[in-house]
Amino acid sequence: MKKFIRTILSLCLVVAATVTTAGAQGKFTYDNIARGELSARSGGSFRSMNDGEHYTANRMGAIIRYDYATGNPVDTLLDTTTTGLPIFFRSYEFSGDESQIMFTYNSRSLYRRSAFSSYAVYSRATGKLDVIGDELRMAILAPSGDKVAYVKDNNVYIYSIADGSHTAVTTDGEWNHIINGVPDWVYEEEWAIDRTLCWSPDGKRLAWLRTDESHVKEFPFTQFNTADKESNYTSIYSYKYPKAGEQNSFVTLWVYDTTDGSRKQVDVGPELDQYVPFFDWTPDGKLYFFRINRLQNHLEIVLNEADGTQRTIYEEKSPKYIDAISAETITFLDDKRFIIRNETATGWMHLYLYHTEKGLLNPITSGEWEVTNVVAMDNKNIWYISTERSPLQRDFYRIGINGKNKKRLSTADGTWSVSASAGCKYYVANYSTITTPTVSTLHKGDGTLVRVLEDNAALRETIKEINMPLKELFTFTTPEGYTLNGFMIRPANFDPNKKYPVLMTQYSGPGSQEVTDSWFVSWEDALVQEGYIVACVDPRGTGYRGEEFKKLSYGIMGRLETEDQISAAKYLATLPYVDAERIGIYGWSYGGYMALNCILKGADVFKSAISVAPVTSWRYYDSVYTERVNGLPQTNAEGYDEPSPIGYADRLKGNLLLMHGTADDNVHIQNTYNMLSRFVQAGKQLDVMIYPDANHSMVPGGSTHIRKYMIDWCKENL
């Protein structure tokens, strides 16, 4: 898994932006935004090679090796035009020793992270091309480069590159019953994984998760087959979706030994109703796995010793829930030491050095700020991104694993994102502010600037020519005494003596963050050009302000967030340039849920609301996400039902636009239909837009239409 797939290093070669249709008039449209003409766009993604001195890039079907120091091409590792592979492959990866290159192509999306794809492996030494198969759920190269494990029809297979043979590791896979090697829907969505199998470092053993979802309730939805002109009938798509409080799948962990063909089940504990989302191998070939209870307030990382015994090498508990559990929660440095990310120890997400036998050795970072992600590490240093100077910004640091010799490597204010080469010999930094487009630079691991890759000068000139809307950050204090962060977008020709209608945009979900000091362009910018102000506020329960602030919403998901958005609207109404009678609110997904709550519970504050793909009752949403923050509906009925907009349909006074896709596998259109039923019962009028066969992102077909529709709707209703 992560140990054998080289980290992608994004050298952002930003394309100069030119507004092609409206720039001469000093105005732009949503079409300009949709085409990316106002965005700092990356020219490609590059992969670091093992030596940390070179990277590879796909150039029209040729994989070319470049030198970091000079940026010059060194040689061509493969030209797919001579191998029979499609030029436009989806992705590629090297084996651990870089002797083999595996390609993914002909992909057909399934859910958010999964797809059915074709895979092929190219040998750099012999020039041989092995086509592994088509319609595979996933495939991974063994680090030894001689085998490929893949999943087809819910079963795990191993392909031998030496003789071209296929060996079935499992045979019991069946749709909607047994899954081997890939996650079920809820594991994929909420644990953010697309595979549940991994090779040992020597490539001799394969660990995989077997998921039994036979007892999980199915959720069917109608497919209208709008893209199929030959079909006169609808069809039904049905899959397993565990809703809050309902039965989850049961998982077991297995290991296959390629030397003798044996299969052994790993003891993950007697509890069936638990999560085992992450597992991997230590550098010396020991298997470890995460064990998380149903309420997600107890985490154990268990190590399997060579003699078959087990030890819990890390344990974490919380009276509420443990957030941000991922494969990156633990990283091994060598046979005994490992790095842990933990927020419950001090209330802030920080790094700690542990030993498998001695336990905690020392904290690495500390303070009332958070480590947001680790960029790279070796046995001496860690390179990481944090909020140390401001929760609205991201800075880049290097620190010793002993917690000493910390150095800030980011050299300008704003938000930094960084990708590193192997061993962090080089890194690419991309930084911006809310008013300044991205600058991309290449550095050595100690922070020394090698060269500026792109300063986005052309885009900056374009922005001046089209009178880009004005963006600024602000704060305000709620009646409860909480200081909340926000941003505001005003027209370029803003007149403080005029009164402007305001559309509030927000997401508001637990641990999320919308307000940052970073460059962005969105559909709302086009609305601002029509004489509107757009504002956004992150309420209580959002992220990067410490555990206490984030977990204020525990057990009452949506209640405090709604109060804060209503307070934000009342604050905006006091500004001399805001038309207090024309304040609206918009949101998608969790934000759509919030928009509904605000137009109903804040009926005297909001004139209009747009709700896209909303959750309308947490009883309808999946178990992992919902129960983490809200507990079980069986023990917290009030926390599920009181914040639900379904119970307040009779309060609707303003204008409401409700939108959803019929093929939304994430937030089911059941949510919108139940909300509509309550509005009908209450005799309320509203506007509804349904997108046939569209998913949670309104794909296919609706992504551009929905944003243009919202702009036009605001012009008529706000």
Q: For residue 6, what pLDDT band results from cuts at 50, 70 and 90?
A: very low
Count of Cβ atoms closer than 10 Å to residue 624 Cβ = 20
The predicted-structure confidence for 518-551, as pLDDT tens digits, reads as follows 999 999 999 999 999 999 999 999 999 999 999 9
pLDDT at residue 8, rounded to an integer: 35
Q: What is the mean pLDDT of residues 418-431?
A: 94
For residue 11, pLDDT over 90 is answered with no
Q: What is the pLDDT of residue 9?
A: 39
Sheet with 166-168, strands from edge to edge, namely: 138-141, 147-152, 155-160, 166-168
The pLDDT value given to residue 5: 33
Q: What per-residue confidence (pLDDT) applies to 297?
A: 98
> In the predicted model, is pLDDT for residue 667 greater than 50?
yes
Q: Provide the domain limits for residue 484.
A: 469-717
Per-residue pLDDT reduced to its tens digit, 95-131: 999 999 999 999 999 999 999 999 999 999 998 999 9
* Mean pLDDT of the region 458-475: 92
Q: Is the pLDDT of residue 555 over 60?
A: yes
Of 178, 165, 246, the closest CA to residue 209 belongs to 178
pLDDT tens digit string along 277-328? 999 999 999 999 999 999 999 999 999 988 889 999 999 999 999 999 999 9
pLDDT at position 446 over 50 = yes
Predicted local confidence at residue 14, as pLDDT: 38
pLDDT digit string (tens) for 343-378? 999 999 999 999 999 999 999 999 999 999 999 999
Tokens 């409860």 belong to which residue?
480
* Residue at 184: amino acid letter: D
User: How far is 652 from 656, CA to CA, in rounded Å?
Assistant: 8
pLDDT score of 13: 38
Active site residues: 589, 664, 696
CATH number of the CATH domain containing 698 = 3.40.50.1820
pLDDT band at 45 (very low <50, low <70, confident <90, very high): low
How much is the pLDDT for 17?
A: 42
Banded model confidence at residue 717, pLDDT cuts 50, 70, 90: very high
Q: Domain for residue 117, yes or no? A: no
Residue 41 confidence class, pLDDT cut points 50, 70, 90: low
542 assigned to some structural domain: yes
Query: Average pLDDT of 8-13?
Result: 38
* Number of domains comprising the chain: 1
The mean of the pLDDT values for the chain is 94
pLDDT, greater one: 231 or 408: 408
Q: Is residue 655 one of the residues assigned to a domain?
A: yes
Query: Is residue 505, in this structure, part of any structural domain at all?
Result: yes
Section 12-19 average pLDDT: 41
Inside any domain, residue 77: no
Give a yes or no: residue 513 inside a domain.
yes
Per-residue pLDDT at 59: 86
pLDDT at 24: 44
Decide if 463 is inside a domain. Answer: no
* DSSP code for 174: B
Whole-number pLDDT of residue 1:
31
Q: What is the pLDDT of residue 7?
A: 34
User: What angle do helix axes 559-573 and 590-601 make, rounded to 10 degrees?
Assistant: 60
> For 231, left (φ over 0), alpha (ψ -120 to 50), or beta?
beta
Question: pTM of the full predicted structure?
Answer: 0.94
> What contacts 295, CB < 8 A, 6 or more positions away?
321, 627, 628, 631, 632
Report CA-CA distances (Å) from 83 to 46, 117, 123, 130. Answer: 21, 18, 11, 10
pLDDT number for residue 42 = 53
Q: Which pLDDT score is estimated for 80?
A: 84
Percent of the chain with pLDDT over 70: 96
673 lies in some domain: yes
Q: Are 314 and 300 in contact (CB under 8 A)?
A: yes
